[in-house]
Structure formats: C-alpha cells, structure tokens
Chain A
Amino acid sequence: MDLKTMTFLVVGATFALYVGIAIWARASTTKEFYVAGAGVHPIANGMATAADWMSAASFISMAGLIAFLGYDASVYLMGWTGGYVLLALLLAPYLRKFGKFTVSEFIGERYYSKAARMVAVLCLIVASITYVIGQMKGVGVAFGRFLEVDFHTGVAVGMAIVFIYAVMGGMKGITYTQIAQYCVLIFAYTVPAVFITLHLTGVPVPQIGLGSTMADGSGVALLDKLDMVVTDLGFVAFTAQKWSTLNMVLLTLSLMIGTAGLPHVIMRFFTVPKVADARTSAGWALVFIAILYTTAPAVGAMARLNLMNTIQTGEVGSVDGNMVYADRPDWFRNWETTGLLKFEDKNGDGRVQYYNDKNEAFAVKAAGFGWKGNEMVKVDRDIMVLANPEIANLPNWVIALVAAGGLAAALSTAAGLLLAIATAVSHDVIKGMISPDISEKKELLASRLSMAGAILVAGYLGMNPPGFAAQVVALAFGLAASSIFPALMMGIFNKNMDNIGAIAGMLTGLFSTLLYIFWFKGWFFIPGTAMAANTPDNWFMGISPEAFGAVGAMLNFAVAYLVSKVTPPPPEHIQHLVEEIRVPIGAGKAQDH
C-alpha cells in the first residue's frame, strides 16, 4: 500500500475512534460540558491531562528544536515538566479544596472583586489564544504534509476540523477521548524512536540509546559523533551551550510557572474526587508526560544525525561527498511541496550543500570547496518529527502512525484550550457579570460562538506565526506565568494579599510581558510591525521574548506586595477562606455547586 493511502487509513481510523467516543459521551448539561462529571480516577485524569497538555509543541515541534538547538533546548524539557512540581506542591490541592469551576472564579472570590475576576479572564484569554496559534502552526504542518498541499491550506483544513471537534465534545467527551488520544500519541512517538535508536546504537530504549556508543563498530558515543558531524560543517556542537545562562534560567522558569498558571491544565484538577487525588493526579500526569519528554532528546539528536548524513553522504569537501539533488529521496520532494523545505542550487553543481555559512572561518573553507553558500535555504524545524521516520527509511505504517499522533496532540490541546476560552467568555464574562440569569441553552450557544471566534483569530495568526510552534507556545506560557501564577500563589500563601494589590500585580505582569513580546515580535503578532529586530543584541540584558514571562512574574509579585502594604488588608471572611483552603479536611464533593 502506498504511503498516502496508508496515512489516510490510519488518520481516518483514529479520528473515527475519537469522534465515536465524543458522540457516545456527548455533553448533555452545561456542567458536563465544562468539567467532565466529577469523580475521574487520578490515573485516568493524569493520562487525560497528559494528552491535553502535550500539544503540537511537544509532539511535532520540540524534538525539532532539540535537533537544531541541541543542549539549549533543555529549557523546554525542564520547563514543561518542572512546572508540574509547582502545580502539585503549590496550587492543585488548594484549588481543588476551594472547589469551583474556573481559575477566574477563584481569583474573583479570593480577591472579593469582580474587577479581579475580569482581569483574570483577560489574562487567560490572551494566554490561551496565543497558545492556540502555536497549535494551528503545528496542525498546518501536519495537514500540509499529509494532504500534500501548501502549508496555508493545511492550516485552513485544521481550523475546520478543530472547530467541529471542540464544539461537539465539551469536556465530558474530551476526557475519554483524550485517554484514547494519549495512547495513540505516545505509541506513535515511541515506536519510531525505538526503531531508530535500535538501528543507530543497537539499544532498544531511546533514553539509554542516546547515551550509548554507535552500532557501526567505531566505539564512538552517539552524542560525540553528532558533535563531530555538525562541527565539521561549521555548526555549533550539539551538546554546547549557545544562549546566555541568564536567558536559559529565565526561560526555564517562565515555562515552569507558566505551566502552573495555564487554565486548561488547572481545570483538570477540579475534577478529581479528593484533595489528596489532586496531588497524585499531577504526579501521574507527569509520569505520562515524562515518557514522551525523556524520549524527545533521543528523537531530536538522532533526527539531526540522520539528516546530516543523508545530505552529507561522504567526506566534507570531497567532490562526490554531497547528495545529488536529482536523486533526492521521496520525503525530500514531499516536504518541498509544503514550502517548509527549500533548496537552491547556489553553485550550480546539482548537489546539495548544507552547512553553516554564518560561521566565517568555515565559510572561507567552504569557498575553497567551490561551495557558494548554504543551499538548504529553508529547513523548518517543525517538520523534523514528522519527517524523521521517513528519513530513517522506516516502514509506511510507522510514518502514518506519526501523522495520526501529531494530529491527536494538536487537536486534543486545541480543543482543551478552546474550551477554556469558551468557559471564560460564557461562564465568567456573560453569566458571571453581564447577565447572571442566562439560560443554559444560551450559555452553551455563547460558548460555541466564542470558540468559533477564537479559532478564526488563531487560524489567521497561525498562517503567519511569530515563531516555530514550540516558541509560540512558549510565549503563551510567559503570559500565563507573568499574570495568573503569582495571583494564584499569593492568594493561597499570603493571607494579607488584597484585591488592589493582586489586580495591580496581574496588570503589571501581563502588560509588561505583552509589551516586551510585541516589541520584538510585532504588535498583535502582525508581521512587519515589530519595533526592533528580534536579535540578542537588542534584547534587554540578553533576555529573549520567550523568557520574559519570568521577569513579568517577578514584577507582578513585587508590585502586588508593595501595593498590598499601603492598601487595606482583606476582610475577615477572606482571611478565613484562605485558612480553610489550606487544610484538606472538609473538602466538598468535586464540582458540586
């Protein structure tokens, strides 16, 4: 069977499975639509959270970033896992004890203020939409490749499918569907990784294979070999650090606290039966996430090695050491159709030279070989995971499976986020503030309309994304980190934090971070409107826009603390509420209200 038919078959079968589950468990009441009926077991909840959490950024984009950034991409690995420690220790059990639907409800009640709730809703919507933009980029890459169409058409197809999908399900459908999605995506991620590790090192476990020696009998460690291969072509060594230490620390911190501040993840912990389950749920979620995250470094490193070896077939600088363009493999042709891989024969020798022409010393050497610049003018990092099994010549069913997994990851997260946005608009804004006596039917309608609006905005920006999928998602984390996380944490750990302090903190965090991001990425991410080029020389103290969320969070904490010192402390009953949240005893049933 040819690859295209196989892909349609596998993707079609998995979709039928998800839709089937969604119909079987269709949401019938508003409450079910939002939070998937109470009493989901911690392991099941952990698995669904993992699927919800691992998006196009984790599945499609992250290993690609690792492939090209090497060691520096560790920030994504540590950042997106370490946040669960914060979540389990600092937020989840207390929010579960509080026992309401949404994050903004907690903020509204804890800070006894509708304005605080409104600000929280604003922060959540901004962070969530940015996140969905990242997913749209990932969906576009996946559909573009498998329908063999242009990237933009891929995004449009993705928008339609995400919409149908999110509107049909609601959370109840989504919880069961997401367990199925987790199984599909983790299988799809690990199978090719095992094949490739086995092929390169003879070890079947990617986590160990990455630290083993090559199976070619040379006795060289895989990572040393990779360092050699890339430095021979003028690139920086895979295991070497390129970013400043400060930027790495802040970016990691930003992703960690952003994880603990994202609404669609926190919402998950409202659905477990007990406070104790909220703690272990976060642990189980991280177990399921870590299976993918500890495999990703092997996928990234090996994809890079295979890519380099495919193009640089012989000794660097020898006449026949480079791949002949006319004999390029099928995957190369297929990715060219999407526009995400581009070759330009600069020296007209019909062969492909892929090297770092920005490295001056090496460029001089390359000129001596008759090379006239790097001919791989575009290698979109987001294609690496999807192209990886093809580059490694794995069987067609594996390639098809990866397509299905990538789509599962993007769809599950997009659906979860759209739900969070819809909840914010219909439940917090309309029902909570504008018209409290709205009927359930109208509330559902409002939430579906807001989903449609969010998809249109995210789809448009997804076609002109402000970065690779994982980078866009990192921006969303920065926004959540700088606005929501400090307000939640102070709400629990600082009894004296008052309404004005919290609001001032959230606004400072959100707008300082937004300003910094828009300054380098363009106002509202519209291409061409950036105030300064997005390069390390222009950044404040070398801090990238992705990493600024940590600074925004510190500003948030500082402003909130100072303002709370000069404004009246919270009333007695709020201080009592905080004391109540801190102990598990007397927790109500999940979501009873």
Chain B
Amino acid sequence: MSEQNNRQAYWTANLKLVALCLSIWFVVSYLFGIILVDQLNTISLGGYKLGFWFAQQGSMYIFVALIFFYANRIGKIDKQFNVHED
C-alpha cells in the first residue's frame, strides 16, 4: 500500500472512531440529559431521578471515560498504520 493510501486509510479509521465517541457523547448529554429527561425521570437511581442524574452527574463521568477511551484506541490505530511518533 502506498504512503498516500495508508494515510487515507488511517484517517478513515480515525473518523470512524471519532464518530462512535461523539455518538455516545450526544446520547448521554443531549438525549438522556435534556431531550428524554422527563421519560427517564420516571426511573429512580437512589434519591436521584435518572434523567436529572445524567444531566448533573452521569454525563460528566462518561465524558472523562470517553476521552481516555479515544486516546487509548487511537494510540493503537496510530501503531497499526505506523503513523505514531517515536
């Protein structure tokens, strides 16, 4: 595979990973925290209503996890396509 094609394939793999992460990002904040909040609020999580919990707690924990998940996976992809730093 030529250098050009390899980089193109790397970029496509990266975009797929970014799309996956941003879908989760959207679902936990905008969907669970805002748009579906009333529906989720019918479920309780201890003294929290679930929608409220996603909006004021859960989404933030997932954001942190997402960044490290992305960093870890893209690190592997960097190596797989041999475009990592030394």
Contacts and interface: CB of A to CB of B under 8 A. Distances in A.
B48 A211 contact: yes
Most buried by B among A208, A211, A587: A211
B64 A290 contact: yes
Contacts, number: 134
B67 A212 contact: no
Interface residues of A, number: 49
Nearest to B52: A239
A90 B48 contact: no
Given A211-B46, A274-B85, A88 B29 contact: no
A249 B30 contact: yes
Contacts of B47: 210-213, 221-224
A317 interface: no
Given A78-B29, A245-B34, A584-B84, A211 B60 contact: no
A77 B25 contact: no
Contacts of B14: 582
Interface string B14-51: 10001001100100011001110110010001111100
B59 A84 contact: no
Interface in B35-86: 35, 37-38, 41, 45-49, 52-53, 55-57, 59-61, 63-64, 66-68, 70-71, 74-75, 78, 82-85
Interface residues of B, number: 43
A375 to B, nearest CB: 31
Given A279-B67, A279-B74, A280-B71, A207 B57 contact: yes
B34 A89 contact: no
24 contacts: A71-B55, A74-B56, A85-B63, A88-B71, A89-B67, A211-B45, A211-B48, A211-B53, A212-B46, A213-B47, A221-B47, A223-B52, A239-B41, A239-B52, A249-B30, A252-B29, A279-B75, A280-B68, A287-B64, A294-B61, A582-B14, A584-B85, A585-B78, A585-B84
Interface of A: 66, 71, 74, 77-78, 81-82, 84-85, 88-90, 207-208, 210-213, 221-224, 239, 241, 245, 248-249, 252-253, 274-276, 279-280, 282-283, 286-287, 290, 293-294, 297, 579, 582-587
